């Protein structure tokens, strides 16, 4: 198949029209478009489906919103998504479609398969995963797990996640640094975050911590100390906080915690790298491809209050070390983790899969 005629349908896990409009207007990053906006430069015609009806159905039931596209997908060579597997279950497993080819962006397969091991749900999930034409994993740990689970190694690809470095850099240049008390930033709304350990690590310290999260992330945490503030802010405000923070802390639960995304912390990690900030992060398999302890971040054992406290004190006490960590992580992100590089890798996979007989 000629790459110029390749048609790919993106099925995003949520609404993206406003995100795309903001990116087109230069008012938002393309980090959450998973390469969509770059596909034309690689000779691929990429579309997405979104209208009032689809969005209304999506709010009621995400699976149903995709299932009603069963006829629409026949117009495309490849369907690319990272959401529910209901559509490939119907199209591939039940109806036996040979086209379009299904390529899935894997952010949850590991935890979902482990959580449902030995159940009917788990067997169905595994059957659908094995039927996919290609699986894109943003970490090698996910790829290795799927291969051990029985997936064909030729169908499972490690493709690093990407971040819109140019947008973040340009917006931060527009932000005026206002003198104020130094603070540590921690952000993330995934349920894999471990804010309890972070709060205990800074309890009693003369260090301000700003946590950007939903109330659900801290609902069971009592007696929050005065040096910790919690709020939810829009992305442009978060960018301002990245610029002004001394460092970014990403506390996550252990890999054995299944009620979360496989890649908890990955997006904030890349945003902090793009912002050139010193990073303190819990050790996690899906983050190990992105930073190295002592070189581009400080990595601490998960759920370890003393280790996290020690790392925070270190970056606060040694400004030269913190600056060096941030500079190295920024250069690494620019070299390896851009959204355009992500799109280039994906375009190669789409072309390869579409051409397979």
Give the model confidence (pLDDT) of 269-305 as tens digits. 999 999 999 999 999 999 999 999 999 999 999 999 9
Mean pLDDT of 245-271: 94
Are both 216 and 151 inside the same structural domain? no
Contact of 47 with 75, CB cutoff 8 Å: no
Read off the CATH number of the domain in which 204 is found: 3.40.50.2000
DSSP 37-50: GGGGGGT-EEEE--
Are both 117 and 236 inside the same structural domain? no
Residue 131 has pLDDT above 70, yes or no: yes
Scan for tokens 């169908």, then name that residue: 155
* Angle, helices 266-274/319-336, rounded to nearest 10 degrees: 110
Looking at 150-164, 252-266, 278-292, which range is the least confident one? 252-266
Scan for tokens 């301002």, then name that residue: 240
Looking at 45-54, 193-202, 239-248, 317-326, which range is the least confident one? 45-54
pTM, 2 dp: 0.92
CA distances from 104 to 83, 328, 344, 348, 350 (A): 8, 32, 16, 14, 11
Looking at 3-17, 28-42, 252-266, which range is the least confident one? 3-17
Q: What is the pLDDT of residue 260?
A: 86
* Angle, helices 165-174/235-244, rounded to nearest 10 degrees: 70
Residue 3 has pLDDT above 50, yes or no: no
What the block records as the tokens of 181 is 């008390």
Q: What is the pLDDT of residue 350?
A: 98
Residue 117 has pLDDT above 70, yes or no: yes
Q: What average pLDDT does the chain have?
A: 92
When divided into structural domains, the chain yields a total of 2
Are both 226 and 157 inside the same structural domain? no
Q: What is the pLDDT of residue 338?
A: 97
Are both 12 and 108 inside the same structural domain? yes
Are both 110 and 252 inside the same structural domain? no
* Coil, strand or helix at 213: coil
pLDDT band (50, 70, 90) for residue 354:
very high
* Phi, psi (rounded to 5 degrees) for 6: -70, 125
Are both 330 and 270 inside the same structural domain? yes
Beta bridge partners of 158: 137
Mean pLDDT of 84-111: 95
Scan for tokens 């691929």, then name that residue: 44
Mean pLDDT of 187-201: 95
Q: What is the pLDDT of residue 357?
A: 75
* Phi, psi (rounded to 5 degrees) for 339: -70, -30
Q: What is the pLDDT of residue 258?
A: 87
Instruction: Please give the residue range of the domain that contains residue 208.
Output: 165-336
Q: Which residues contact 325 (CB under 8 A, 6 or more apart)?
A: 278, 279, 295, 296, 297, 298, 315
Contact of 57 with 68, CB cutoff 8 Å: yes
CA distances from 235 to 22, 182, 213, 274, 346 (A): 12, 21, 12, 14, 26
65 vs 134: which has the higher pLDDT: 134
Are both 126 and 193 inside the same structural domain? no
Residue 248 has pLDDT above 50, yes or no: yes
Are both 46 and 30 inside the same structural domain? yes
Are both 177 and 316 inside the same structural domain? yes
Are both 27 and 133 inside the same structural domain? yes
Are both 178 and 320 inside the same structural domain? yes
pLDDT band (50, 70, 90) for residue 4:
low
Looking at 50-54, 247-251, 309-313, 324-328, which range is the least confident one? 50-54
Name which of 318, 265, 311 is nearest 139 in CA terms. 265
pLDDT band (50, 70, 90) for residue 67:
confident
In the chain, what percentage of residues exceed pLDDT 90?
78
Which strands make up the sheet holding 134-137, listed edge to edge?
45-48, 7-11, 78-81, 101-105, 134-137, 156-158
Are both 175 and 317 inside the same structural domain? yes
Residue 180 has pLDDT above 70, yes or no: no
Residue 52 has pLDDT above 90, yes or no: no
Beta bridge partners of 105: 136
Q: Where are the beta strands (DSSP E) in the chain?
A: 7-11, 45-48, 78-81, 101-105, 134-137, 156-158, 183-187, 208-212, 228-231, 247-250, 278-282, 298-300
């Amino acid at each position: 198949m000629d790459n110029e005629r390749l048609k790919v349908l993106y099925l995003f896990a949520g609404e993206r029209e406003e995100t795309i409009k903001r990116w087109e207007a230069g008012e938002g990053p393309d980090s959450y478009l998973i390469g969509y906006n770059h596909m034309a430069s690689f000779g691929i015609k990429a579309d997405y489906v979104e209208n009032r009806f689809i969005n209304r159905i999506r709010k009621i039931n995400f699976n149903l919103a995709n299932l009603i596209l069963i006829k629409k997908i026949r117009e495309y060579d490849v369907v690319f998504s990272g959401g529910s597997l209901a559509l490939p279950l119907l199209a591939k497993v039940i109806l036996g479609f040979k086209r379009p080819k299904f390529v899935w962006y894997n952010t949850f397969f590991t935890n979902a398969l482990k959580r449902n091991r030995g159940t009917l749900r788990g067997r169905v999930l595994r059957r659908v995963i094995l039927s996919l034409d290609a699986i894109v994993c943003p970490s090698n740990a996910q790829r290795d797990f799927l291969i051990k689970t029985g997936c064909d190694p030729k169908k499972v690809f490690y493709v690093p996640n990407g971040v819109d470095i140019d947008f973040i850099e340009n917006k931060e240049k527009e932000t005026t640094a206002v003198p104020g008390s130094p603070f540590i930033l921690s952000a993330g709304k995934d349920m894999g975050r471990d804010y309890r350990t972070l709060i205990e690590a800074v309890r009693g310290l003369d260090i301000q911590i700003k946590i950007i999260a939903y109330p659900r992330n801290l609902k069971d945490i009592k007696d929050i100390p005065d040096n910790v503030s919690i709020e939810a802010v829009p992305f442009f405000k978060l960018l301002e906080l990245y610029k002004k923070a001394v460092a970014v802390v990403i506390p996550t639960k252990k890999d054995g915690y299944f009620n979360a995304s496989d890649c908890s912390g990955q997006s904030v990690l890349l945003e902090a790298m793009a912002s050139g900030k010193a990073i303190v992060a819990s050790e996690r398999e899906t983050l190990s491809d992105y930073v190295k302890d002592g070189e581009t971040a400080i990595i601490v054992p998960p759920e370890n209050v003393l280790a996290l406290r020690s790392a925070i004190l270190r970056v606060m006490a040694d400004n030269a070390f913190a600056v060096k960590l941030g500079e190295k992580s920024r250069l690494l992100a620019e070299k390896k983790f851009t959204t355009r590089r992500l799109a280039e890798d994906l375009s190669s996979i789409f072309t390869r899969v579409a051409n397979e007989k």
